[in-house]
Amino acid sequence: MKKALFLFSILMLSGSLYCQDYIPADNFKFKFLKANKARGGTYYYTIKASKEDKKIQVRFKMKSISGGKEDFDPNKFYLVSDEYKVRMRPLDIRHNYATGWIFIGFDHLTDFQPTDKKLKEWICYKPEVRDTFRDYKIEGYEDVYPSINFGTKRKPKVASPYFDLRELKSCKVDLYFSAPKSMKKFRIYYGEKLLADTAIKK
């Protein structure tokens, strides 16, 4: 009987990050909804993945713990792959507007003052907003930052942007990653809190 209860507990624990309740992290709580290969014809992307990689979409439902609007820091999201020994920043992060199916992105920030007019349309400089992705390094794992050319091939303007903060209360949030095509299993964190240990559905 004890052995059966022990095995049942293990099964409940192993499945808790798939069919979980909300997990608190900072001033929000998160519920994992799905992880799958994102279809280019279905979703709009601010940033494209390379042809050698695949686009991954991970969706959470989130609520502020206070019940009111709170500052939300999207830079604390990251993906960890034990197989590839990497910790990856999302290419893009979007949340739905009100209760609808319209998803809007977070503004992109950079650690330098852009002077080019066209570059200013895409990224801005706000040194008061810290890039907190850098606070959660994992020993033995490589940090992967998307390098994006906001210019042209002849006149490249490459930056590795992070995200601005936004006041949110309750919404769905989509994370988009560019990952090797053979990657299946990975974990998603918000800061130091593990939110999902999952795999891509076929």
pLDDT digits (tens, 9 = 90+) for 186-202: 999 999 999 999 998 65
- Neighbour-count burial for 151-172, b at 16+ CB within 10 Å, e otherwise: eeeeeeeebebbbbbbebebbb
Q: Which residue has the tokens 């998603």?
A: 188
Whether residue 144 is predicted with pLDDT greater than 70 in this model: the reply is yes
Separation CA 167–CA 73 (nearest Å): 9
Which residues is 168 bridged to in the sheet?
70
List, for residues 94-140, the tens digit of each pLDDT value: 998 766 677 888 999 998 888 877 778 888 999 999 999 999 999 99
Separation CA 109–CA 122 (nearest Å): 9
SS3 193: strand
pTM: 0.82
pLDDT for the residue 56: 92
Considering only residues 19 and 156, tell me which one the structure prediction assigns the higher pLDDT. Answer: 156
Q: Which residue has the tokens 């992105």?
A: 105
Which amino acid is residue 128, in one-letter code? E
Instruction: Outline where DSSP puts E strands in 65-161.
Output: 70-72, 77-81, 86-88, 92-96, 103-105, 108-109, 123-124, 142-144, 148-149, 158-159
pLDDT range class, residue 45, cuts 50, 70, 90: very low
User: Is the distance from CB of 30 to CB of 22 less than 8 angstroms?
Assistant: yes
Separation CA 70–CA 66 (nearest Å): 8
Mean pLDDT of the chain: 83
pLDDT range class, residue 43, cuts 50, 70, 90: very low
Instruction: Outline where DSSP puts E strands in 103-147.
Output: 103-105, 108-109, 123-124, 142-144
Q: Which residue has the tokens 């942007």?
A: 161
Separation CA 174–CA 94 (nearest Å): 5
